[in-house]
């Protein structure tokens, strides 16, 4: 993981052997891949809003994640627009996601994935 600070200072943090970083990487992966089973097993999950304006909250059940994160909140519309991570030390990290691009057609592999059996 690379951490950037104001002023451009960068710190490289290795996840190797760090259970917290490994678990957080798994959480982010589960969010972007839609792995509901992993999210539900590691978090109390809440959802409010509409498809055009929603909020998804994740409150850790897993102690390795809870040691670092109090809560994660994702907001969006047709896509994830922001991710807020409230940390145990009182800090909040916010990611703003923009300029989403979507292809007009699925690839052959994507079509095969969604094909009915």
> 65 vs 14, which has greater pLDDT?
65
State the first-to-last Cα distance of the chain, in angstroms, to the nearest integer. Answer: 40
47 has a pLDDT exceeding 90 = yes
Distances (CA, A) of 87 to 29, 70, 83, 84: 19, 5, 13, 10
The tally of domains found in the chain comes to 1
The predicted pLDDT at position 113 comes to 85
pLDDT band, residue 15 (cuts 50/70/90): low
> 7 vs 93, which has greater pLDDT?
93
Distances (CA, A) of 52 to 39, 80, 104: 22, 11, 20
The predicted pLDDT at position 4 comes to 66
1 has a pLDDT exceeding 60 = no
pLDDT band, residue 48 (cuts 50/70/90): very high
The predicted pLDDT at position 2 comes to 63
pTM beyond 0.85, yes or no: no
Please report the DSSP string for 35-96 in residue order.
Answer: -HHHHHHHEEEEEEEETTEEEEEEEE-SHHHHTTEEEEEEEESSSEEEEEEEETTS-EEEEE
Enclosing domain of residue 67: 2-114
């Amino acid at each position: 993981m690379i951490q950037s600070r104001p002023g451009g200072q960068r710190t490289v943090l290795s996840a190797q052997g760090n259970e917290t970083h490994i678990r957080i990487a798994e959480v982010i992966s589960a969010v972007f891949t839609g792995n509901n089973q992993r999210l539900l097993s590691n978090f109390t999950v809440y959802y409010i809003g509409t498809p055009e304006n929603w909020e998804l909250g994740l409150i850790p059940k897993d102690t390795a994640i809870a040691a670092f994160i109090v809560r994660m909140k994702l907001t969006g519309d047709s896509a994830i627009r922001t991710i807020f991570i409230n940390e145990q030390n009182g800090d909040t990290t916010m990611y703003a996601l923009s300029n989403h691009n979507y292809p007009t057609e699925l690839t052959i592999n994507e079509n095969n994935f969604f094909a009915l059996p």
